[in-house]
Structure 1
Amino acid sequence: MTNPADANDVSDDTQLRQLGYATSFDRSMSLWENFSLGFTYLSPVVGVYTLFQFALSTGGAPMFWSYLLVGAGQFLVCLVFSEIVAQYPIAGGVYPWARRLVGERWGWMTGWVYLWALATTVAAVAMGAGPYLALLAGFTPSPLVNAVTAMLIIFASTLLNLGGTKILARVAMTGFICELCGALVVGAWLLLFGRQQSFSVLFDTSSVSGEASYLPAFLAASLAGIFQYYGFEACGDVAEEVPHPGKTIPRAMRLTIYIGGAAAMFVCVALILAVKDLGAVISGKDADPVWTVLTANFGEFGARAVLLVVLVSFLSCVLSLQAAASRLIFSFARDGMLPGSKALAQLSSTHVPSKALILCGLVPAGIALCGYFLSDAIAVVVSFAAVGIYLAFQMVVVGALSARLNGWSPSGQFNLGAWGMPVTVLAQIYGVAAIVNLAWPRRPETSWYENYGVILTSVVVLVAGLIVLPFMKSGIARLTAAADKAG
């Protein structure tokens, strides 16, 4: 007699074989563990705490509403991705999705952009933990502290990832529980006992713009929200490690937006209302309002306890980012689309792409180490982190739109039906607007390469991809021939 669970496993494997691959991973990641991976990648605590001072000083308290607006826009992208992963539940996410929607070259370029965005994001997040570790340990933040902290976090993340899918899932779940509980406890305490401002400040734009238009300040401050709302795609990056992925992953993606977005907005509004002197933050007099709020409400010891939770959030965020990047490299290598593909496509005894994981540790570690010696140059490189992810996202959305116009009708277990085309169009409009906002030069007083850093790094990555692309022609030719034969 066949066990129903075994029958479902066979169905998953059969679907994967129909897509051209044999199963190699350990399908042991549950819905909530898959969601936890996306949540810790999105990491509301890391996102809000890291960019709170910038957003509040730039846009004042009304910057809070950017989290709601950006969340709504990214939810549209999430719905598009949910349809795609339901039909193509393949490890690697954006690369295999874009490849099947448009073609091999478009898929390769999409994966190339996303890969470098992930590498710089891992480095940026790991370095971003430095100031919090310094505050926790009681010494002065510095580039050296940031670099050393990044090395330690990336090393720990690599070791944990090498342990296998079950360890990845458990650590992600632990990170999710710690981060969510910490966000809820700290936010609730601040709202109940630490509130210094009325809710009306969330609508007061005069403190930033006076009589002038508030829109430029709001758009600049909204970068905090734009940096916040990605991570849901990581649920799909590990599609071959999840039972019943066509049903499970779309749900996990949506949960990431629901719960991650709600947690981010809760933490943000609690911090805003707990700031005693908003004018001091806007003027730059209070350069670290998060630490000011925490010490005022929890004392030095309590504030350090909160920072410990923040550091756990940084580690789990890097863990999820590295896992996503390694599955992307594995997906590339399995198709013969990278130098050293044979080695990079191998799975270890723990059923993870170990060599790809090590590479995903070495490259970000190199970027972080260079940050100690070339801080200005690395700041420009890291500026590509968010816009690169948005570019890759929109290349997938373009692919979905193109495929729909050419007759593609999603047939997975999650389907938007008649809403598919309008949602895809709106997701495209939102994504383009977000990219323009990210890339818009706003600091004419700085050097040109800093002011145009986002545009500069994006052009460099795209041109480099076009230069490397012809050398991947053997892999592309093989995939094209296989697709023609299947057709």
Structure 2
Amino acid sequence: MPENTTTAPPGLPAAETGTTAGEELKQQYTLRSAFALAFSDVSPIVGLYGVFALGVVTAGPAFWWAFPVVLVGQLLVSGVFGELVSRWPLQGSVYQWARHLIGPRYGWFTNWAYMWGLTLALSALSYAASGFLIEAIGLTGVSGTTQALIALGVLLFGSAANMIGGRVLKVLLYCSLAAELVATLGIGIVLLFVHREHAFSTLLSGGDTAHGAQWLFGPFLGAVAMAGWSFVGFESAGSIAEEVKESRRVLPKAMPLALAAVGLLVMFASLGILLAMPDIATVLSGKDADPVSTTLQTRLGSSTGKALLIALVVGFTASLMAVQAAVSRSIWAGARDRVIPGSRLLGTLSGPERVPRNAIALTVVVAGSLLFISTSKIYALLLSFANAGFYLSYALPVLGAVYVRLRGTWEPGEVSMGRWGTPVTFAAGAWVVFESVNIAWPRALNGVWYLDWGLLIMTGVLGVIGVLVSRWAFRPGREAPAAPALRSVALDEGGA
């Protein structure tokens, strides 16, 4: 058998992939570059900055314990995903895993949630990056339309990197990885060992948000829901599975390693910031809405403010590029299977590095259009589904794996957890159900009822639309697409 080709696992029909001659995917990623993609998608800077202030206000300094809780739960999920990608190393990650575990419709709805969740996250990341960029270059009095145009520019920059292909994308991701590693490690070390202001016992304080069991089942659950956003995106390495050399062995390592690395960095840096905060009471009262920036400027000098802003632009932009790489492959995988509208156009590959440029362009159109309603409550309502989309698309394949194991029909791939497989899968199933419900639980955080219920509202709206589109995809008389075989022509030219 030629090097870098794969064969169908036992029981999987040897169907064609649906690509035509000249459209084969180019294998150009290795363990190192797959790790960099997953690391950038999760992003320690995005994970830390995105939830820190909300976490402190919601549950006090003791919100920090939400990070290890969520990290352990997500590591369980990454273990299950490692087994699934070893069995089915196909483009689209969660879509393909759910499809092969349960069936085409089940996989379709997994992909529907995944595509919407990631596309909405793409819009949010570009908008956030634009805000930090505006501050970094010192612009003032920027209108909403101007910021939307700057955010569109950030989105187009990331999209250009994705459209050019793996070589440029990998260089940018490596640079981002190095910058984020230095920034988060540096913040943690300097603040914790040089500027620590508070005792470690501060981590046991709920900051008068509540006490005892009331705190545990109220504010802390809210903090766990928020921290859930910090540790998603590690499955993106699986979304490019057919572009990764030796994917069966490489990807089960890349996903949990990236997640664990980001998780430890977030916990370490947030520990340093918490214990060096100049005035915790001001943060708890809401008077200091940006405690990360305040702490760094107070302890390290005003010059660190601009450095932080630059680091945030780098982190959010890198996460944007990784998210787009993942969602474009999921769109392409659905188009290859002819189960989404516009399959002929979206299922093509182009350029010397064989990338799904039309699928990438679709994400630009959707995410970019949403930027121009970014000041409205409709935008906030739409974004409420971003985190839910991740967890829903995680829950479906994990619960599918639970079902298959209960039936006793699971056949492991090349990488397996062995006798730990069943208990880890069951524990991961319990975790994703718990966290999905926890995230969806309406909480009075926005002051507007439909935003507090936004996640459930958007899940319902997108669910109804999904039912209508799926009826078209699986309409009577239409031949069901065959499952893609696990083959990929070796077109790699070496490199990392």
Which category describes the TM-score, using the shorter chain as reference length? over 0.9
Partner of 2:464: 463
- Give 1:212 shift: 7.3
Provide Cα deviations, 1:321-354, integer angstroms capped at 9, x if missing partner. 0010100011000111112111111111231001
User: Are 1:110 and 2:113 counterparts?
Assistant: no
Equivalent residues in 2 for 1:92-103, closer than 5 Å? 92-103=92-103
Any idea what SS the aligned residue of 1:213 has? helix
- CA–CA distance in structure 2, aligned partners of residues 432 and 217 of structure 1: 19
The answer to whether the 8 A contact 1:66-1:225 is kept is yes
Q: 1:306 to 1:475 in 2, by over 3 A?
A: farther
- Give 1:293 shift: 1.1
Q: 1:371 to 1:329 in 2, by over 3 A?
A: same
Q: Which runs of 4+ in 1 moved over 6 A?
A: 13-17
The answer to whether the 8 A contact 1:45-1:267 is kept is no
Partner of 1:9: 4
Partner of 1:70: 70
- CA–CA distance in structure 2, aligned partners of residues 272 and 284 of structure 1: 15
Q: 1:419 to 1:142 in 2, by over 3 A?
A: farther
Partner of 2:222: 220
- CA–CA distance in structure 1, aligned partners of residues 377 and 31 of structure 2: 41
> Which amino acid in 2 is paired with 1:230?
V
- CA–CA distance in structure 2, aligned partners of residues 423 and 43 of structure 1: 25
- CA–CA distance in structure 1, aligned partners of residues 388 and 425 of structure 2: 19
Partner of 2:374: 371
- Give 1:419 shift: 2.1
**Matched residue pairs, number?**
475
User: Are 1:287 and 2:265 counterparts?
Assistant: no
Any idea what SS the aligned residue of 2:197 has? coil
- Give 1:463 shift: 1.4
- Give 1:125 shift: 1.5
Provide Cα deviations, 1:69-88, integer angstroms capped at 9, x if missing partner. 00001111111111000010
Partner of 2:55: 55
Partner of 2:88: 88
Partner of 1:405: 406
Q: 1:442 to 1:153 in 2, by over 3 A?
A: same
- CA–CA distance in structure 2, aligned partners of residues 345 and 476 of structure 1: 22
Provide Cα deviations, 1:426-464, integer angstroms capped at 9, x if missing partner. 111111111111111121882321110011011111111
- CA–CA distance in structure 1, aligned partners of residues 115 and 437 of structure 2: 21
CA RMSD of aligned residues (A): 2.2
The answer to whether the 8 A contact 2:350-2:356 is kept is yes
Provide Cα deviations, 1:201-251, integer angstroms capped at 9, x if missing partner. 001225322577212111112233100111110010000111000000010
- CA–CA distance in structure 1, aligned partners of residues 183 and 434 of structure 2: 33
More helix by share: 1
- CA–CA distance in structure 1, aligned partners of residues 377 and 144 of structure 2: 11
Equivalent residues in 2 for 1:174-189, closer than 5 Å? 174-189=175-190
Partner of 1:361: 364
Partner of 1:324: 326
Q: 1:307 to 1:17 in 2, by over 3 A?
A: farther
- CA–CA distance in structure 2, aligned partners of residues 339 and 108 of structure 1: 13
- CA–CA distance in structure 2, aligned partners of residues 454 and 143 of structure 1: 25
Equivalent residues in 2 for 1:225-374, closer than 5 Å? 225-349=227-351, 350-372=353-375
Q: 1:475 to 1:165 in 2, by over 3 A?
A: farther
- CA–CA distance in structure 1, aligned partners of residues 309 and 476 of structure 2: 47
- CA–CA distance in structure 2, aligned partners of residues 288 and 482 of structure 1: 49
> TM-score, normalising length from structure 2?
0.91
- CA–CA distance in structure 2, aligned partners of residues 408 and 65 of structure 1: 38
- Give 1:149 shift: 3.5
Q: 1:149 to 1:51 in 2, by over 3 A?
A: farther
**Unmatched 5+ stretches in structure 1:** 1-5
- Give 1:144 shift: 4.3
Q: 1:248 to 1:154 in 2, by over 3 A?
A: same
**Unmatched 5+ stretches in structure 2:** 485-496
Q: 1:291 to 1:142 in 2, by over 3 A?
A: farther
- CA–CA distance in structure 1, aligned partners of residues 418 and 163 of structure 2: 40
Q: 1:317 to 1:482 in 2, by over 3 A?
A: closer
> Which amino acid in 2 is paired with 1:348?
S
> Which amino acid in 1 is paired with 2:355?
V
Any idea what SS the aligned residue of 1:383 has? helix
- CA–CA distance in structure 2, aligned partners of residues 219 and 145 of structure 1: 37
The answer to whether the 8 A contact 1:48-1:224 is kept is no
Partner of 1:3: none
Provide Cα deviations, 1:178-211, integer angstroms capped at 9, x if missing partner. 1111111122111122222111100122532257
Q: 1:304 to 1:403 in 2, by over 3 A?
A: same
User: Are 1:382 and 2:383 counterparts?
Assistant: yes
> Which amino acid in 1 is paired with 2:3?
N
Deviates more, 1:390-399 or 1:216-225: 216-225
User: Are 1:129 and 2:132 counterparts?
Assistant: no
- CA–CA distance in structure 2, aligned partners of residues 426 and 51 of structure 1: 25
- CA–CA distance in structure 2, aligned partners of residues 142 and 423 of structure 1: 50
Q: 1:20 to 1:303 in 2, by over 3 A?
A: same
- CA–CA distance in structure 2, aligned partners of residues 436 and 352 of structure 1: 36
- Give 1:482 shift: 6.8
The answer to whether the 8 A contact 1:91-1:236 is kept is yes
The answer to whether the 8 A contact 1:165-1:351 is kept is no
- Give 1:301 shift: 2.3
Any idea what SS the aligned residue of 1:478 has? coil
> Which amino acid in 2 is paired with 1:8?
E
- CA–CA distance in structure 2, aligned partners of residues 444 and 75 of structure 1: 28
The answer to whether the 8 A contact 1:30-1:243 is kept is yes
Identical columns (%):
33
Q: 1:453 to 1:121 in 2, by over 3 A?
A: same
- CA–CA distance in structure 2, aligned partners of residues 476 and 114 of structure 1: 27
Question: Which gives a bigger RCO, structure 1 or 2 (Cα 8 Å, sep 6+)?
Answer: 2
Equivalent residues in 2 for 1:141-156, closer than 5 Å? 143-144=144-145, 146-156=147-157
The answer to whether the 8 A contact 2:15-2:483 is kept is no
The answer to whether the 8 A contact 1:171-1:316 is kept is yes
> TM-score, normalising length from structure 1?
0.92
